[in-house]
Amino acid sequence: MIILSTAVFALVLAFALGTSLGFFREVFAVPQDPLAGQIREVLPGANCGACGFPGCDNYAAAVASGSAGVNNCPVGGTAAAEKIAALMGVSGGSVAQLVSVLACQGSRQHAPLKGTYTGLQSCRGAKLAAGGTKLCAWGCLGFGDCVKVCRFGALSMGDDGLPRVDHAKCTGCRLCLDECPQALLKGVPQNQRGAMALCSNRNVIKQMVIKTCKRGCIKCELCVKNCPEKCITMDRGIPLVNYTQCTSCGTCAAKCPTKVFNIIEKDIWRAAQ
């Protein structure tokens, strides 16, 4: 009898709670903007936050209210921007499509380890627990945290311990950029041309750079001195290129003794094909 009474009470209580929830949902429901719903249908649904909003729903609502631009979604790209612009009755404009590039060549072959690491098998964990696993304090830690957060299958770990980017699949969502504790993944415009230094080692002592990574920038500044366009400067130990002047002549790549420089359209884009 007690069991039956308990069961009946539970059913009555569940019915009462369900009815109450349905009632209050209708009473306190927040009206949704139909335009925001239409915009949301156009968006890819990645919810990656690259637009500057927590997710696609929030971005759609912001666009509908006029507080966000129509071309903030790098995943949807120009096609999505044009569709959203048509819904808003404005001009679309292009979306600056970025893809990820790893600014490090410190593979297992080139960058020796400090020792045997047995802690949490993640880049962030190794960074916090041991200050990294390699002698180069700026190098890729190789546990693939970036691969794990990529929602588009654009990242994979290579046999050399470095992540590989499939630029055909990369949407520029920036999730991998935010995940890397070493800040080694850079967002590069998909149509970028010119030379790029694939090194993030800021150690100014040449001997220490050579000891920690055979493909590290040794700060010799031969790239700066020999650039015919004078478009390379040093910034905290890393060569930076002014792409408005760079002609992809390849002089910096040829002169660099540790092969730090790569020509983007030749060595980076084509290598990923």
Same domain, 84 and 139: no
Please state the pTM of the whole predicted model: 0.77
Give the total number of structural domains in the chain: 2
Identify the pLDDT of residue 3: 75
Same domain, 64 and 169: no
Q: If 0-12 CB within 10 Å is exposed, 13-18 middle and 19+ buried, where does residue 248 land?
A: middle
- Structural domain includes residue 250: yes
For residues 3 and 215, give the distance between their C-alpha atoms in angstroms, rounded to a whole number: 74
Same domain, 113 and 142: yes
Cα 272 to Cα 49, 261, 269: the distances in Å are 26, 16, 5
Identify the pLDDT of residue 31: 60
Identify the pLDDT of residue 23: 62
Same domain, 150 and 169: yes
- Structural domain includes residue 55: yes
For residues 130 and 142, give the distance between their C-alpha atoms in angstroms, rounded to a whole number: 14
Identify the pLDDT of residue 141: 96
Identify the pLDDT of residue 76: 86
Check which CATH number belongs to the domain holding 84 and give it.
Answer: 1.10.15.40
Same domain, 47 and 157: no
Residue ranges making up the domain that contains 208: 98-272
Q: Which helix (H) or strand (E) holds 232?
A: strand 232-235
- Structural domain includes residue 63: yes
Could you read off the pLDDT tens digit of each residue along the chain, which spans 273 residues? Answer: 677 778 767 777 777 777 777 665 665 555 667 888 898 998 988 888 788 787 899 999 999 888 888 888 888 888 888 898 898 888 877 777 889 999 999 999 999 999 899 889 999 999 999 999 999 999 999 999 999 999 999 999 999 999 999 999 998 888 999 999 999 999 998 889 999 999 999 998 889 999 999 999 999 999 999 999 999 999 989 999 999 999 999 999 999 999 999 999 999 987 655
Identify the pLDDT of residue 27: 57
The last residue of one of the domains, among 69, 88, 107, is 88
Give Dmax over CA atoms of the chain in angstroms: 95
272: DSSP letter? G
pLDDT tens digits, one per residue of 197-212:
999 999 988 899 999 9
Identify the pLDDT of residue 28: 55
